Chain A
Amino acid sequence: MMHIDVSSVLRQTLSCELYSNLVTRPTGAAVRTQIEALLADSHERSLTVIDFSHVGMIDFSCADEVIAKLLLRYVAEERVEREAYFLFRGVTDDHWDAIETVLERHGLALVMETDDGARVVGIVNDGERVAWEKVYELGRTQPADLADALGSGPDHAARMLDGLHRRRLLMRLDGCYIAVGGLGEPHG
């Protein structure tokens, strides 16, 4: 698992130790470019923690450049050559307004680490949210497991898992699905 401290990337990008705020679109674009350069060295399947713990604040323009465009590139469309998954850490109320706004604008969702685990945030419908939470509880999940848990048909469960995988909210490994942030262990 790769860990990217956004604050460190910001300071490297601006060549300045004084700034801890993610503001302005050019700054966001530069930070995202740096993150993408780090991701370029990763394997064909990678899970990266994007850590906001030391970021003071983020504005809308920067959130659009750093988060929305990163997700749009690696998550929103299926990329056969590389599967990149992201877990967002250290996101506080100070960051949330801007992040929520850009997720809504682009119809995106992401997995955010919380004090008691992980949760999916952004644009997901009720069915997707329930399915993701079931997979998070179950750990390694096959379509039949989810169908049992939801009381639904196996085809519906398979479609749900595939849809969440395409959005890179679930990882697929050896025919099983694992929630991003769940590490395959049951969280029931």
Chain B
Amino acid sequence: MTSVITVPPSLDDHTFEQVVEQLAAVPRDGKLLVDARHTTWASPYGLTALLTLGQTLDERASFAVPETEKTASYWARTGFFKYADELYDLRGSVPKGRGGESSVLLEITPVIKSEDVHDVVGRIQQKAQQILSSELSIDAKATVGFAMTLSEICQNIVEHAGRGGWVAVQTYTWRRRLANRRVVVIAVCDAGQGFRQSLESAPSFVRNDRWDDAAALEAAVIRGVSRFRDPGRGQGIAGVRRYLSRWDGKLSVRSGTAKIAILPNWDDDVPLAEKLAPFPGAQIQVTIPERVSGGPR
């Protein structure tokens, strides 16, 4: 019997939880269909997370592509189907075209090794400068910090995940929470060992009664703890947090059964969500909104 996971009509970091909850309920050894036929929109997080979902499955699953031509065409332009084809048996009409999508700052790109991070940073710089200043009214000087943020988050995969992941960057208009302001979103998702297992591998690691995925995320994201003894480690996420506080941005990190978020005033997400359905690896999202009044805070 084939189990079906239904992808929500609008797929982002919040609604992806519905996918993970369905995944937790299906038998690991059975056939699986990931059904995105009725999905009409997906954020970079949603698309990269769907790829990591494919990575986690013991048996190759089927994937029903969106029926709406506009959606399928957009997913094709982000590069989704190129990588999905390596992980799933694609069902339905898969558009061939790629490229030409102006809101895609960085199409879905695999991150496996250090050189991939160089490639990602090199590709993003010029376009990021143009988008940040013209669409988000963010000072061109912020481009460097944006590239640094992207670099550090991608390095999380190279340094800690133990297997490859994906990154995507996109701009779009947020109608609900930000009253039609533009945002730029970075999503970096992997299905590797996750924060808890990474920190547990530290030689000095001592388990305590409340050690779990949430505690691991608090340690890494809030306190800059790393599995390495090197005192210079852990600066990457601290630097990302500093950059985001300057530009009123949001950072959220999901790993295992928990999700932690550094929240700006405009967002009503919870700072820490625990006891979520389990999902391997780490899924990171950075959101930077359009400036409405000029320079950094």
Residues of the A chain whose Cβ atoms lie less than 8 Å from the Cβ of B118:
14, 16, 19, 21, 23-24, 27
How far is the CB of B238 from the nearest CB of chain A, in Å? 8
How far is the CB of B277 from the nearest CB of chain A, in Å? 32
Instruction: Name the residue on A nearest B113 (C-beta).
Output: A26
Is B236 in contact with chain A by the CB < 8 A criterion?
A: yes
Q: Do the beta carbons of B236 and A60 come within 8 Å of each other?
A: yes
A68 to B233, CA, bound (A): 12
Residues of the A chain whose Cβ atoms lie less than 8 Å from the Cβ of B238:
60, 101
Is B125 in contact with chain A by the CB < 8 A criterion?
A: yes
Range for the number of chain A residues in contact with chain B? 20 to 34
Residues of the B chain whose Cβ atoms lie less than 8 Å from the Cβ of A19:
118, 122
Is A69 in contact with chain B by the CB < 8 A criterion?
A: yes
Among B155, B159, B233, B239, point to the contact of A101 (Cβ < 8 A). Answer: B239
How far is the CB of B122 from the nearest CB of chain A, in Å? 6
Q: Do the beta carbons of B122 and A21 come within 8 Å of each other?
A: yes
Residues of the B chain whose Cβ atoms lie less than 8 Å from the Cβ of A61:
151-152, 155, 235-236
Is A98 in contact with chain B by the CB < 8 A criterion?
A: yes
Q: Do the beta carbons of A57 and B232 come within 8 Å of each other?
A: no
Is B100 in contact with chain A by the CB < 8 A criterion?
A: no
Give a binary string over A103-134; 1 marks a CB under 8 Å from any B CB, 0 the rest: 00110000000000000000000000000000
How far is the CB of A7 from the nearest CB of chain B, in Å? 13
Given A57-B147, A97-B239, A106-B232, is A18 in contact with B122 using a C-beta cutoff of 8 Å?
Answer: yes
Is B148 in contact with chain A by the CB < 8 A criterion?
A: yes
Q: Do the beta carbons of A59 and B148 come within 8 Å of each other?
A: yes
Give a binary string over B14-32; 1 marks a CB under 8 Å from any A CB, 0 the rest: 0000000000000000000
Is A94 in contact with chain B by the CB < 8 A criterion?
A: yes
Is A25 in contact with chain B by the CB < 8 A criterion?
A: yes
Q: Which interface residue of A25, A59, A93, A97 has the most chain B CB atoms within 10 A?
A: A59
Chain B contact residues, CB within 8 Å of chain A: 114-115, 117-118, 121-122, 125, 141, 144-145, 147-148, 151-152, 155, 158-159, 231-233, 235-236, 238-239, 242-243
- 26 A-B contacts, Cβ less than 8 Å apart? A18-B122, A19-B118, A21-B121, A21-B151, A23-B118, A24-B155, A27-B118, A57-B121, A57-B144, A59-B121, A59-B152, A60-B152, A60-B235, A60-B236, A61-B155, A61-B235, A64-B232, A64-B233, A65-B232, A93-B141, A94-B141, A94-B144, A97-B148, A98-B239, A105-B232, A105-B235
